[in-house]
């Protein structure tokens, strides 16, 4: 299907391959690259973690991502319609697809709250806010200012919704063409300035990158590395499928997805180079999650000779990463619901905006509410949706059919029948086991 039935208009597609790759890289590169990948890399033996991560990407995540993107390209439908088509059961497909799309989008309830804090910190770094507020109290000072917190949230959500209304080629692709290259440039400049101005940075670099290959014998390393790769690239819940549904009819997939995976890995490494060595150089223990960027980094920047410029550049880069990921979260639901329920994009976005405000504003002032949505979206939506997607595309619809019709005909690399066996009997089972283990560990 190459058009939206409810509108009669030609389906909005990426203008070119470059824009498609940058948009999907923006989907993959998010806050996890900035606050989780670096922490895990430092914790699990530096280069050893990177090695395990790359094995997970090449052997598991990239094949599954290729299949999901190709599925979207073939159906030209959102998540809801795709599940209805795959399971040949419209009610079941609509329930599964609607719930999965909601879970992907619901991340934005707290994501926009985090973006508002990143903007506040970027401005604060540019004005050396730590000279006026204790570094570890800056985040609390923002949340204590309710009008400012709500105002930032509403403005950023408005920009996000406007991007959603503009669609793929005029919205997400245009934004990604600017923000994704910019975040790499900002991270590189940040790293160079940090190395040039920070005493003791060599010890920090050794701590971050020096490989401890004995860790490769630890199953925990592999679970952490492959789990991070799955979550970062976003396999399963529907964002890749939705972006794939906006690829041109003869668009190339295999090399494009491998390029996206490489960019995502590089972004995580670069973010870590900007953050972890500086923490170690100043004797500060790096943490995972929002505490790293909102509690630890301001203390580091206060101590750094070039802390003002480093903080400003890094937070702007993190904002670009967060915004492009938020666009993909939103687009998963917008495309899926507008396709399935024959509603205009503007109407779907308007409804989502109201819901986003209702559930998102409390995230500004309640750590419990924010943590609850993080738990719900990661453990109760992401992991089950990942398993459902992998099984639906590879086993129910059929990876062979997808490869023969959507991957190999237009690919720079012909995969062949070995790919079908690998995905069905290696990649999907490992993903299911990992998801089950992660779900059990959550309790």
Domains detected in the chain? 17-441 (1.10.4160.10)
Report the 10 Å Cβ neighbour count for 306: 15
In this prediction, residue 288 carries a pLDDT of: 66
pLDDT per position as a tens digit, 401-435: 999 999 999 988 899 999 999 999 999 999 999 98
Which residues are CB-neighbours of 151 under 8 A, at least 6 positions away? none
In this prediction, residue 242 carries a pLDDT of: 98
Contact between residue 212 and residue 288 where contact means Cβ atoms under 8 Å apart: no
Q: Is 45 left (phi over 0), alpha (psi -120 to 50) or beta?
A: left
In this prediction, residue 9 carries a pLDDT of: 56
DSSP type of residue 11:
P
Q: Which two tokens stand for residue 144?
A: 């204590």
d(CA 225, CA 32): 12
Distances (CA, A) of 171 to 63, 177, 182, 257, 284: 28, 10, 17, 21, 40
Contact between residue 328 and residue 322 where contact means Cβ atoms under 8 Å apart: no
Between the CA atoms of 357, 360, 363 and 368, what dihedral angle is there, to the nearest 10 degrees? 120
In this prediction, residue 211 carries a pLDDT of: 84
DSSP type of residue 136:
G
- Rounded (5°) CA angle 259-261-267: 100
Contact between residue 307 and residue 299 where contact means Cβ atoms under 8 Å apart: no
Q: What is the DSSP string of 182-208?
A: HHHHHHHHHHHHHHHH-TTHHHHHHHH
In this prediction, residue 5 carries a pLDDT of: 38
Q: Which residues of the chain have pLDDT under 50?
A: 1-8
pLDDT per position as a tens digit, 18-67: 999 999 999 999 999 998 998 898 888 888 999 999 999 999 999 999 99
Q: What is the 3-state secondary structure (H, E, C) of 274-303?
A: HHHHHHHHCCCCCCCCHHHHHHHHHHHHHH
Contact between residue 280 and residue 204 where contact means Cβ atoms under 8 Å apart: yes
In this prediction, residue 47 carries a pLDDT of: 85
Contact between residue 431 and residue 67 where contact means Cβ atoms under 8 Å apart: no
Contact between residue 373 and residue 110 where contact means Cβ atoms under 8 Å apart: yes
In this prediction, residue 435 carries a pLDDT of: 86
For residue 155, how many C-alpha atoms fall within 13 Å in the half-sphere facing its CB? 11
| Cα torsion 157, 163, 165, 167: sign | negative
d(CA 419, CA 275): 38
In this prediction, residue 332 carries a pLDDT of: 98
**E strands in 199-316:** none
Distances (CA, A) of 208 to 38, 119, 221, 442: 8, 27, 15, 27
In this prediction, residue 133 carries a pLDDT of: 85
d(CA 79, CA 194): 43
């Amino acid at each position: 299907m190459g058009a939206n039935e409810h509108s009669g208009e030609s389906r909005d597609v990426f203008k070119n391959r470059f824009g498609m790759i940058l948009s999907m890289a923006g989907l993959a590169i998010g806050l996890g690259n900035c606050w989780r990948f670096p922490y895990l890399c430092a914790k699990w033996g530096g280069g050893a973690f990177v090695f395990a991560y790359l094995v997970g990407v090449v052997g598991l995540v990239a094949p599954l991502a290729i299949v999901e993107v190709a599925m979207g390209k073939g159906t030209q439908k959102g998540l809801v319609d795709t599940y209805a088509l795959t399971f040949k059961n419209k009610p079941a497909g609509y329930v599964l697809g609607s719930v999965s799309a909601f879970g992907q989008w619901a991340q934005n309830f707290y994501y926009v709250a985090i973006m508002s804090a990143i903007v506040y910190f970027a401005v604060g770094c540019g004005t050396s806010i730590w000279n006026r507020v204790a570094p570890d109290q800056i985040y609390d000072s923002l949340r204590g200012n309710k009008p400012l917190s709500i105002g930032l949230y509403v403005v950023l959500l408005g920009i996000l919704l406007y991007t959603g209304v503009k669609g793929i080629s005029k919205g997400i692709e245009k934004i990604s063409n600017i923000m994704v290259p910019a975040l790499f440039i900002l991270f590189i400049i940040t790293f160079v300035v940090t190395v040039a101005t920070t005493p003791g940075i060599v010890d920090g670099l050794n701590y971050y990158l020096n490989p401890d290959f004995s860790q490769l014998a630890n199953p925990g390393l592999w679970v952490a590395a492959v789990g991070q790769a799955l979550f970062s690239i976003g396999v399963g819940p529907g964002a890749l499928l939705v972006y794939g549904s906006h690829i041109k009819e003869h668009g190339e997939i295999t090399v494009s997805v491998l390029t996206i995976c490489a960019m995502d890995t590089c972004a995580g490494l670069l973010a870590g180079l900007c953050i972890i060595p500086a923490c170690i150089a100043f004797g500060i223990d790096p943490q995972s999650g929002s505490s790293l960027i909102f509690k630890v980094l301001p203390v580091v920047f206060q101590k750094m000779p070039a802390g003002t410029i480093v903080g400003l550049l890094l937070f702007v880069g993190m904002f670009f990463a967060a915004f492009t990921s938020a666009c993909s979260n939103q687009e998963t639901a917008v495309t899926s619901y507008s396709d399935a329920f024959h509603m205009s994009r503007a109407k779907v976005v308007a409804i989502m905006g109201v819901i986003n405000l209702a559930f998102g504003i409390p995230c500004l002032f309640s750590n419990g509410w924010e943590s609850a949505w993080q738990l719900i979206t990661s453990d109760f939506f992401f992991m089950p949706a990942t398993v459902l997607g992998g099984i639906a595309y590879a086993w129910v619809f059929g990876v062979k059919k997808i490869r023969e019709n959507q991957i190999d005909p237009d690919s720079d690399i012909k995969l062949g029948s070995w790919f079908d066996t690998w995905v069905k009997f290696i990649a999907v089972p490992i993903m299911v086991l990992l998801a089950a283990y992660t779900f059990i560990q959550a309790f």
